[in-house]
Structure 1
């Protein structure tokens, strides 16, 4: 007899003793069933699709930093004048994430993901035709709304379709798409801009996601845990679960989720849930950590090419070396996922931020040696970007199904204010003519603050939740 049959028999017997209705018999918890199975080909397909969405997201998010030197040259403006453009998308990312999380917890992960991808694709295309700082800032803000909505829903969808024992690695593998997409932006920009102008980068950033939308609509499923929590028809849930488990589930009359195990006030919103007494400390620590990490990430990805150009690097070399920072995050994210599945995830990431602080200082001291400088930029990217990309995997199991998209999205949204501050602070620091080495040394401070928040999380997370202890 299969495990499902055993579970169904046990459930039926329990229901009979309790006098439950026949519909409550032969019920299966979707997450338990997913956890019992090895990763199927269908789950790997969903992983690839979510990875691709985040790669497109990362490309469109980071390209403004790579086209900035060309804009300064073509428009004849001061570098500091680009600060509103640099930060506009980040404001959009913040608002988009905070709107999309509750929307996905209400309407589903898949529809919000598709709509948000179409949104950022269209406005990325339109950015290519911006003729002023003001119009570009507006278009980058609108692009950011879609970018901010897409990321948390792709991560949430994959987290809910992944087995618990491999969730951190699987979610991190999805998130690798973002730094790789950001790194690809630097490499592609270096090739496109000299021949086709800065506009070509934004056109590519719009066309690619538009072409990908039909693929998402055809192959992406809705989250089975979400459907079970929202009492979707068993047939809809069964269709997804049979593709994951590759077995007949026609005997299952009802699918359940872990959401039923969470006690919440009647009519409580998803935001109210993540800020309730049980979750508020974990929520605040996640927000703080994401804030600090994005402050570092966006200051460097937005301004490093200009800082390097000022330090004597050519435009092409500045773009290529800057691309090493997000590129290194791909390795850090995968290694981080493996370690988080085996050890205390919060403490693993706290340790990473300590190493990141040391490396950031070291990068600033190596400007005279291009090879060493590039190597240290890559290593710093492994730590900073890898730790940042691992935070959604840390957050996903903390929250129940009915608040998970909101919990992840608001962490991303509130944390984006750190990215906004980083983008604005880069312009201020350049205006103050601070040496690159001093700017990097200052960035060690938020890395150490992120470490502190993670250590608090490791102690204060809701009891029994897996992200902080193994």
Structure 2
């Protein structure tokens, strides 16, 4: 008897998410939530650490930057490893690494030690992303992929909101160390759950010809076949060079451009909005609430954008959101001393521009077939995080040369507009090219 499980093409665009697929998406979202929690928490506890160690607050610019640098390197390396050794083992290793590094952070006694631990933590955080993004996408029917990957990644802004709320309460009562104890315990507690319940990508196993493991995973998840008929015959190891072959080069460069600019924009907003709001004469409460609304807006925006991508061409929807987000950011630039107007503009900027930035990951996974997907996502996430490093630095340099507050936000709006152009370039390319089969839109996806 032939026990090989063959993909059913009819499932590609007509399938719905089953209970197992929803569970997989939730597990991946929990990993991303930890990333958001960690990113927000370190920013909020930095003043307390600086006061205790009696070092200038400005010193922590390196601490913030090295965490993002570690994330960029981790995403690239673990993305390559995910295509070669599997998505699940790389996710488990990355989660374990960030859990251990965060748990050791309370023992740091100097900026140098803290910087090293933030580098390792960032390496683990960034390293987990290609795997969870690939697993989520590869258990999702293609017509829903952009929406589901985007909603899964809502865990990041949700984690940032929780990080802010928890940190504000924990630090006064238990000290800044308690935040990292919690930040380390969460991934270590999640690790055995992931080991038991997170399956390896069925499509990855199909590509690698692991029939016995594939059958076992399909029985566990209740699926009859891998969620999408795709490239299941390639056994070639993934390489960054393959991101520029078989017609992938243009899409790769455009998604890198979009993610670089959108992360630059996001971190400019998140890092400089509170300070510039204070300089405009607004209260500290209003300034902090502006960042909260950015994150909440991004959650709402991602859900709305995701729903729209099911009914229309995903790249067109996401590109349009970036362009409209540029208008909202311009609204922040001209809010001047009106706290209400600034908060409203921040909510829309988060919903449109940052929501589009999160949704861009759904565009990214559709550019690559299974055999190279984790590498493609890893490099895209890594390039994006470089933009996240550059954003705050650019903001500081512009402020240093005397740029006005409105003009700084106009620069931020320009970044969103250019990201829109890159994503719309992907939409135009898909409409006109006879590209690699994995990059071709299906009728249900690109109507």
TM-score computed with the length of structure 2 as normaliser: 0.90
- CA offset at residue 203 of structure 1? 2.1
TM-score computed with the length of structure 1 as normaliser: 0.86
Partner of residue 186, structure 1:
164
Aligned with 1:446 (options 386, 411, 415): 415
Tell me the secondary structure at the aligned position of residue 398 of structure 1.
Answer: coil
Q: For each residue in 1:357-380, what CA deviation from the matched residue of structure 2 results, as whole angstroms up to 9, or x when unmatched? A: 111121132252323322221221
Q: For each residue in 1:104-136, what CA deviation from the matched residue of structure 2 results, as whole angstroms up to 9, or x when unmatched? A: 001111111011011112212222333333222
Aligned with 1:162 (options 101, 119, 140): 140
Alpha-carbon contact 2:268-2:392 (below 8 Å) kept: yes
Aligned pairs for 1:48-447 within 5 A: 48-234=26-212, 236-245=213-222, 258-260=230-232, 269-311=238-280, 318-432=287-401, 434-447=403-416
- CA offset at residue 432 of structure 1? 4.5
2:105, 2:62 → 1: CA distance? Answer: 14
- CA offset at residue 61 of structure 1? 2.2
CA 1:231/1:268 → structure 2, altered by over 3 Å: closer, same or farther? closer
Q: For each residue in 1:72-99, what CA deviation from the matched residue of structure 2 results, as whole angstroms up to 9, or x when unmatched? A: 5444444433221111111101100000
2:399, 2:118 → 1: CA distance? Answer: 22
Aligned length: 439
CA 1:175/1:418 → structure 2, altered by over 3 Å: closer, same or farther? same
Structure 2 segments unaligned to the other structure (5+ residues): none
Q: For each residue in 1:145-192, what CA deviation from the matched residue of structure 2 results, as whole angstroms up to 9, or x when unmatched? A: 001111121111010001122222211121111111112212222222
Partner of residue 10, structure 1:
none
Q: For each residue in 1:404-454, what CA deviation from the matched residue of structure 2 results, as whole angstroms up to 9, or x when unmatched? A: 111111111112111110132233345446444332221111111111111
1:203, 1:370 → 2: CA distance? Answer: 36
Q: Which deviates further from its counterpart, 321-330 or 139-148?
A: 321-330
2:12, 2:191 → 1: CA distance? Answer: 27
1:288, 1:99 → 2: CA distance? Answer: 20
2:254, 2:194 → 1: CA distance? Answer: 33
1:40, 1:255 → 2: CA distance? Answer: 11
4+ residue segments displaced more than 6 Å: none
Q: Which deviates further from its counterpart, 169-178 or 455-464?
A: 455-464
CA 1:200/1:314 → structure 2, altered by over 3 Å: closer, same or farther? farther
1:412, 1:395 → 2: CA distance? Answer: 9
In angstroms, what is the RMSD of aligned CA positions?
A: 2.7
1:445, 1:35 → 2: CA distance? Answer: 36
Alpha-carbon contact 1:83-1:427 (below 8 Å) kept: no
1:172, 1:359 → 2: CA distance? Answer: 21
Tell me the secondary structure at the aligned position of residue 311 of structure 2.
Answer: coil
- CA offset at residue 45 of structure 1? 0.9
Structure 1 segments unaligned to the other structure (5+ residues): 1-21
